[in-house]
Structure 1
Amino acid sequence: MSRFVHPAGDRHAEVLPEDRPPHAPADLNTLDPTIWPRTSGRVGGSITIGGVDVRDLVAEHGTPLYVVDEEDFRSRCRDYRAAFADGEVHYAGKAFLCREVARWIMQEGLGLDVCSAGELAVALSVGFPPERITMHGNNKSPAELERAVEAGVGHIVVDSFEEIARLGFLADRHGKRPKVMIRVTVGVEAHTHEFIATAHDDQKFGLSLNSGAAAEAARRILALPQLELVGLHSHIGSQITDTAGFEVAAGRLAKLMVQIKEEHDVVLPELDLGGGYGIAYVEGDETLDVKEIADSLREIVTRVAESAGLPVPRLTVEPGRSIAGIAGVTLYEVGTIKDVEGLRTYVSVDGGMSDNIRTALYGADYTARLASRESDAGPMLSRMVGKHCESGDMVVRDLWLPQDLATGDLIAVAGTGAYCRSLANNYNYLPKPAVVAVKDGESRVIVRRETEDDLLRGQL
């Protein structure tokens, strides 16, 4: 452990791990373009997004407030569509989905991944083409499977033997033959947090390659004429910043494809390598360029298929965070500011773990800036905390804010477009914030703020 002395003096001394040395940025007002939305900037000192001043957004819509840069979101969809022009791109709806986002995805020509009847309902409610929808989930209920079969979703990714039997029965009952893929647990452990690494054997998703369960799933599906086995699916984790794991996964999936061909004389035409591509949350975070991802995965799949003597399968990817993440910013109003002598300054805001649980859930890091004005004051080592009755209720664990920060100032937290609204909750009976889309100097609500009536609805 090392002791760090704040530039303002000993009263801000802090003890932090050596592997994460605190350092104040040279300018507390700058907006790193790798972290903030593509249309963000400062005008008259205030942060603007999509040509709209955050002060105006807060005056009209209140705080906390999720802000989505529509042009940023759509442009990242177009980047993926262009990079994977010879394959398929399915947006992972779990990152953030609402009816308007489903429309954006549809209009930009992407497919959509859903993993519940609710997410499917959102997509279908705006006329999303069902053939461009993939249904995921490790424990799909019979009702969810039936809804997917009835709707005619393009692919159902099977995750268990029980599901194969259920799906076969439902397909027969409805006179349909759904296309299915097998979610394969390939034994590749992504270098990420334990809770978001999803391809090692000891976890709930998929059918193990090592145990032979994936091969047995293929046998059972191919024995059912009601189901059409079209490919294999793998997802090795989230917030991944290199493609090495995908190469190992593709190689192992190719071996299973060879086994299926040799055993059943069936050549699977599709391969889905999932998503999980990382974004920058704080300065220095590594990211993956979309074109580099596409070129690398295409080369990997081609090489692996050819070496296995297989036709090159059609590649599908499932980006979510890397489309929605940077496009979203959350705005808060500063409440109490409490200097804890000898440690740090606690800055309390009017939200917290109900609108962003990622920090408490798995130690996520974020970048935050004073948003309603610029400041030339010196840096103040801070912890940005919420208003909930939990010591772990933190939005940003360690950050630098200007020493002249005051109650009523607005703080913007970058990179909150993915998994913040999706994981939002009503802890302490806080209503969920509104979601506002901004573009070309205009704003509009795409998900309204909850009210106390919403919180009480359903209670007897």
Structure 2
Amino acid sequence: MHLYGTQSINDRGHLAIGGIDTVDLANTYGTPLIVYDIHLFRERARAFKKTFQAAGINAQVAYASKAFSSIAIYEVAKQEGLSLDVVSGGELYTAVQADFPREKIHFHGNNKSYSEIEFAFDEKIGCIVVDNFLEISIVKEIAESRNQEMDVLIRVTPGIEAHTHDYITTGQEDSKFGFDLKNGQADEAFRQLYNHPFITVLGMHCHIGSQIFETDAFRVAAETLIEKMISWRDNENFICRVLNLGGGFGIRYTEIDNPLSPSEYVEEMANVVLSMTRTFNYPIPEIWIEPGRSLVGDAGTTLYTVGSTKDIPEVRKYVAVDGGMSDNIRPALYGAKYTAVSANRMTEPHSEKVTIAGKCCESGDKLIEEATIAPAIEGDIIATFCTGAYSYSMSSNYNRLPRPAIVFVENGEEQLVVRRETYEDIVRLDLPLQKVKRGGKV
């Protein structure tokens, strides 16, 4: 049984996180409940930063907050000196509510609206990562109408196909993101932005995928972008001050996953940048990276309560819990794999192979196809590991189920940071049908 971060088995035989008994958390806050190990978040953030410092490279480590966005997690990121990657007006608004340093906010997205870009100008954020030609025209129009400066990065697709799922691969040529390096789009984007009186091109950005377990793709991506940087220097007399190599660093969901440490990913990037800039006499750019999943993924654990069971002889046994695809769509969406334990019976043999099913009215609502837990009985607390990334952020009210509560734990203390939705919350935006009769309103 692999435990993560500050997880442990306490003297009651229960799973504990951050020194807090998860069964007590379930009893206090109800289930489904997502529990975040904030010590692990801080540990990972510091490991990324420390590796750059050891290499003598100026860097920004930006939390890719699409993985999990909330005021509280933004405040923790601020405490750790991280920058912030947002991808929508909603995430930017959340960052503003958290009073995140505006100069450390980077705005991504392949279809930012005019109003979202205006919002970024209003808040004087640190950087917009431009993704397409329409966006270039909008950024220029707003900057010129306001006589306001804005820093930008040009997002490029380097043609690198990382070893990852098709749905989460974003660096190859066939991608909705960014300007292609090979067909000249990136050069044209640069020409449209370079020497603009209000726009400063800081450099380039790429993101080659997610849940990547090796460094080869990062090395090739860095080499490809640096070659373009050298071309722009030689042909346009332009020096890139920033090289953003994105994120995608993998975590361990199951025993078959074998991720590298934060330092191993960063060291490979640093080595490529230092070697190539030295070879071509190029000023060392500031390196930006965007870890999301690798900061919050295995820091999150979802607690469920067991309800009904269904044993189909010679086929399978279903164990149903009080959540499902409404709080974690990833297994149904692209077959994501997870590991679970019986949190209230950790010292008992985990010998029963079951399918953990959700309560949504979909036959495909299976959180874990093959889980090995203690023989399940009604009221057991099931803990699903590594649900901190893309669970709550992709959650829904399907079947009008309320979204779960979220608790942070650290050093023996707990704090509710997102309250559980109520039925009243679910209908808050609904409007009743207006009564009408033929010829006009009643």
TM-score range, shorter chain: over 0.9
SS of aligned partner of 2:394: coil
Q: 1:175-229: CA deviations, max 9, x gaps? A: 2211111100000011100000001111201110111101110000015222100
Determine whether 1:168 maps to 2:145.
no
Report the Cα distance in structure 2 between the residues aligned to 1:378 and 1:240, rounded to whole angstroms: 30
Which residue does the alignment assign to 2:316?
344
Do the aligned partners of 2:319 and 2:376 also contact (CA within 8 Å) in 1? no
Q: Residues 381, 266 of structure 1: CA spacing in aligned structure 2 closer, same or farther, 3 A cutoff?
A: same
Report the Cα distance in structure 2 between the residues aligned to 1:278 and 1:428, rounded to whole angstroms: 32
Determine whether 1:405 maps to 2:382.
no
SS of aligned partner of 2:303: strand
Shift of 1:397: 1.6
Shift of 1:264: 1.7
Shift of 1:285: 1.2
Any residues of structure 2 matched to 1:122-137 within 5 Å, and which?
122-137=94-109
Q: Is 448-457 or 37-46 further displaced after alignment?
A: 37-46
- Aligned residue type for 1:160: N
Do the aligned partners of 1:250 and 1:273 also contact (CA within 8 Å) in 2? yes
Report the Cα distance in structure 2 between the residues aligned to 1:42 and 1:420, rounded to whole angstroms: 27
Match of 1:443 among 387, 400, 414: 414
SS of aligned partner of 2:392: coil
SS of aligned partner of 1:128: coil
Which residue does the alignment assign to 2:401?
430
The root-mean-square deviation of aligned C-alpha atoms, in Å, is 1.3
Shift of 1:152: 1.1
Which residue does the alignment assign to 2:234?
262
SS of aligned partner of 2:310: strand
Mind listing any 5+ residue stretches in structure 2 that lack a counterpart? Answer: 432-442
Shift of 1:445: 0.8
Do the aligned partners of 1:182 and 1:231 also contact (CA within 8 Å) in 2? yes
Which residue does the alignment assign to 1:95?
67
Report the Cα distance in structure 1 between the residues aligned to 2:352 and 2:316, rounded to whole angstroms: 8
SS of aligned partner of 2:393: coil
Match of 2:386 among 408, 415, 425: 415
Which residue does the alignment assign to 1:231?
203
Report the Cα distance in structure 2 between the residues aligned to 1:377 and 1:300, rounded to whole angstroms: 48
Determine whether 1:84 maps to 2:52.
yes
Shift of 1:88: 1.2
Which residue does the alignment assign to 1:8?
none
SS of aligned partner of 1:355: coil
Which residue does the alignment assign to 2:365?
393
Shift of 1:81: 2.0
Any residues of structure 2 matched to 1:198-213 within 5 Å, and which?
198-213=170-185
SS of aligned partner of 1:184: strand
Any residues of structure 2 matched to 1:37-116 within 5 Å, and which?
37-85=5-53, 86-116=58-88
Mind listing any 5+ residue stretches in structure 1 that lack a counterpart? Answer: 1-29
- Aligned residue type for 2:221: A
Any residues of structure 2 matched to 1:175-190 within 5 Å, and which?
175-190=147-162
Shift of 1:82: 1.5
- Aligned residue type for 1:179: D
Q: Residues 68, 218 of structure 1: CA spacing in aligned structure 2 closer, same or farther, 3 A cutoff?
A: same
Report the Cα distance in structure 2 between the residues aligned to 1:155 and 1:59, rounded to whole angstroms: 44
Match of 1:218 among 167, 182, 190: 190
Shift of 1:309: 3.8
- Aligned residue type for 2:345: R
Q: Is 77-86 or 382-391 further displaced after alignment?
A: 77-86
Shift of 1:39: 4.1
Q: Residues 378, 290 of structure 1: CA spacing in aligned structure 2 closer, same or farther, 3 A cutoff?
A: closer
Do the aligned partners of 1:39 and 1:72 also contact (CA within 8 Å) in 2? no
Match of 2:304 among 302, 310, 332: 332
Q: Which runs of 4+ in 1 moved over 6 A?
A: none
Report the Cα distance in structure 1 between the residues aligned to 2:23 and 2:61, rounded to whole angstroms: 36
With normalisation by structure 1, the TM-score equals 0.90
